[in-house]
Structure 1
């Protein structure tokens, strides 16, 4: 009877396990369903090639730099200020002076004029051909010239007609030497550059300042088809990054707090915290990142197996001594390894700079796998024992009833 009851229970368990896919709760389709119902696809067993670099005394010098991307390194033009030139659409004020009355622009003595009289012309807009129109001088090229150069050009045209002419040109409205400041600023818009030159932070201030904290704001500068993105807090703390702005630059601010992902045998993962963490500071070291993740889990982690995953540029890996000829693309998948069982590993971790979007992973100790296996065996034995006890109880109840 016990054997029969056990066989019945075993059969029920088998039926339940066979229908578990459709009975048990879930959050979506199973992997088998995804594979079986696919109409077409590409399957591959090719492994992704990557570089493995040990963080050591030989490599830490290159890895201790927080960020190699900078404005001062990307834009080589480092003049103290731009030379302001007139462009199409600009509006100019022009005043013409003559040394004596009775000239082209001043009446004679009989009209009550005095030496040194002048005339103000109506504001002159630079047309699409880059010219302005001046009476008795005709069309004078202005686009691409500085204000003194336009003054000299008008004087040269009037020298043989007016009496010792002198010309004063000033900028009435500026439409060509402008900069656009967009994105997460309080008052975005298009701003005209002043004649003394302006720097990045000055333009951001004119746009009302950033909406968010400097540590959460990135500044993207677009110039001549080139784009470079730098953290705003770095521009604030490093004056050399606060470069001069050029006409037609586009400054775009975006909110993007630097974050990294912490996976593996860390206390914050064991206790169920979020695995994506923010920097909260301008620069973050690996040691600080481990601390923000709650530290290594004492019962699970292997301190000798700490890894950082990122995509690295080819030139940096070449400096580290990696044979990059085996990789096709310039952005190479890279894994950095740190051994924290070595006392020097703590010092290396204190110098290694984490970058935004890095993945930090701490591997399990090998003994954890054996512990998992023993736990599985113990749970299986308990389940078998429970089934056996249930069969005995059913058998006893049947005998009692009959």
Structure 2
């Protein structure tokens, strides 16, 4: 191969790679660059709102959904140590201080009404006392009600009430606890935190543990730590309650010029943009552009209106937050920016990275051409 032919091949390879690079294609990269992201703005050809993060944006967008019990849970009073339920079977013993009593046979001082079942409406029937409300009451309350009714007909009757069948008031505890199971509501375990302790305590990381209480068709969830920081969150239990202890299921996605590209679970109740970047190994020191840290998020209508100042926005809006870590206070803005569930954190490559790739590709191509030329001339 002649020198002229070699020069033509070299010039052709250089021109082809250079034109490909200028066109923004042909070379591998981790994702869109800053210009391409900004091209997606509603002010240009896209449908996203591009917002540079500052104190105002942080104040509006830094809303973290709170977990708390509704008033129906928080307002429930603490139960007694034992509560009778429909379907339970009771044993009632009546003592009378007269020879010819209402219920006690002659020559005896007591009579036992065995296997008295609480009906579906929560009532029992006791001779001479009539229908007594048993469901929802403690054995002590039932004892007092029977004694009052019989007291009108026999002097100072003494009554004992005990459950002989039935589960009583129980709750089920499942998930990340030391010992899953069904537990009775007793005097030491009448509140949520006490029942979790009775089940062996939390068996997962407390910082990301969530406690869900299900009562009938109602459900409420709180952070485990709130049980101790907020006494009002330690609600009273009811028979049939179900308690679920689970790890936080929130996550965000990290992409681009970071130490790792993956789906990242939350490791605490709140995560800032700086913490999110740190969790994936920080910015790549060889390729990341610190002026191009982006957070992609779908914002609800109310927050989008407040951010953009556009009052007639309807529905969820696509928002891209820009974090320039080189700006004055840029690190503080990133530290105060709260990452939310399903966010995408993306870091663009520095401009020189594509140039380096271009040079490497050209250099490699020139070496290949030169080798081919040497073979051809040999």
TM-score (norm 1): 0.67
Is the Cα contact below 8 Å between 1:234 and 1:282 reproduced in 2?
Answer: no
Q: Distance in 2 between matches of 1:82 and 1:319?
A: 43
Which residue of the partner structure matches residue 242 of structure 1?
A: 234
Q: Distance in 2 between matches of 1:92 and 1:183?
A: 34
Structure 1 vs Structure 2 CA RMSD: 3.9
Which residue of the partner structure matches residue 256 of structure 2?
A: 264
Which residue of the partner structure matches residue 31 of structure 1?
A: none
User: 2:288 aligned with 1:301, yes or no?
Assistant: yes
Q: Distance in 1 between matches of 2:52 and 2:239?
A: 46
- For 2:176, which of 161, 181, 184 is the aligned residue? 184
Q: CA deviation at 1:177?
A: 3.0
- For 1:124, which of 105, 116, 122 is the aligned residue? 116
- 1:162–1:59 distance in 2 versus 1, CA, 3 Å: farther
Which residue of the partner structure matches residue 218 of structure 1?
A: 210
Is the Cα contact below 8 Å between 1:81 and 1:198 reproduced in 2?
Answer: no
Q: Distance in 1 between matches of 2:294 and 2:302?
A: 21
Q: Distance in 2 between matches of 1:211 and 1:196?
A: 21
Q: Distance in 1 between matches of 2:53 and 2:162?
A: 61
Q: How does 1:199-214 map to 2 (within 5 A)?
A: 199-214=191-206
Q: Distance in 1 between matches of 2:139 and 2:310?
A: 56
Q: Distance in 2 between matches of 1:158 and 1:235?
A: 45
Which residue of the partner structure matches residue 9 of structure 2?
A: none
- 1:356–1:162 distance in 2 versus 1, CA, 3 Å: same
Deviations 1:201-249 (A, max 9, x none): 2222222223333235432322342444444345455545433333322
Q: Distance in 1 between matches of 2:271 and 2:311?
A: 27
Which residue of the partner structure matches residue 56 of structure 2?
A: 58
- 1:315–1:224 distance in 2 versus 1, CA, 3 Å: farther
Q: Distance in 1 between matches of 2:141 and 2:255?
A: 64
Q: Distance in 2 between matches of 1:52 and 1:365?
A: 20
Q: Distance in 1 between matches of 2:291 and 2:99?
A: 94
Q: Distance in 2 between matches of 1:341 and 1:218?
A: 37
Q: Distance in 2 between matches of 1:173 and 1:48?
A: 69
Q: CA deviation at 1:366?
A: 3.5
Q: CA deviation at 1:357?
A: 4.6
- 1:215–1:344 distance in 2 versus 1, CA, 3 Å: same
- Larger RCO of the pair (alpha carbons < 8 Å, separation 6+): 2
SS at match of 1:121: strand
- 1:217–1:78 distance in 2 versus 1, CA, 3 Å: closer
Is the Cα contact below 8 Å between 1:103 and 1:162 reproduced in 2?
Answer: yes
Q: CA deviation at 1:328?
A: 3.9
Q: CA deviation at 1:132?
A: 2.0
What 5-or-longer segments of structure 2 have no aligned partner?
7-44
- 1:385–1:263 distance in 2 versus 1, CA, 3 Å: same
Is the Cα contact below 8 Å between 2:212 and 2:219 reproduced in 1?
Answer: yes
Which residue of the partner structure matches residue 286 of structure 1?
A: 273
Deviations 1:298-354 (A, max 9, x none): 44222222122344444554554565854546xx55433322122222112222233
SS at match of 2:201: coil
What 5-or-longer segments of structure 1 have no aligned partner?
7-46, 394-402
- 1:364–1:226 distance in 2 versus 1, CA, 3 Å: farther
Which residue of the partner structure matches residue 88 of structure 1?
A: 86
Q: CA deviation at 1:181?
A: 0.9
TM-score (norm 2): 0.71
- For 1:104, which of 89, 99, 102 is the aligned residue? 102
- For 2:338, which of 332, 337, 353 is the aligned residue? 353
Q: Distance in 1 between matches of 2:169 and 2:48?
A: 47
Q: How does 1:312-391 map to 2 (within 5 A)?
A: 312-318=299-305, 320=307, 323=310, 326-328=313-315, 333-391=318-376
Tell me the number of residue pairs that the alignment of Structure 1 and Structure 2 aligns.
337
Which residue of the partner structure matches residue 198 of structure 1?
A: 190
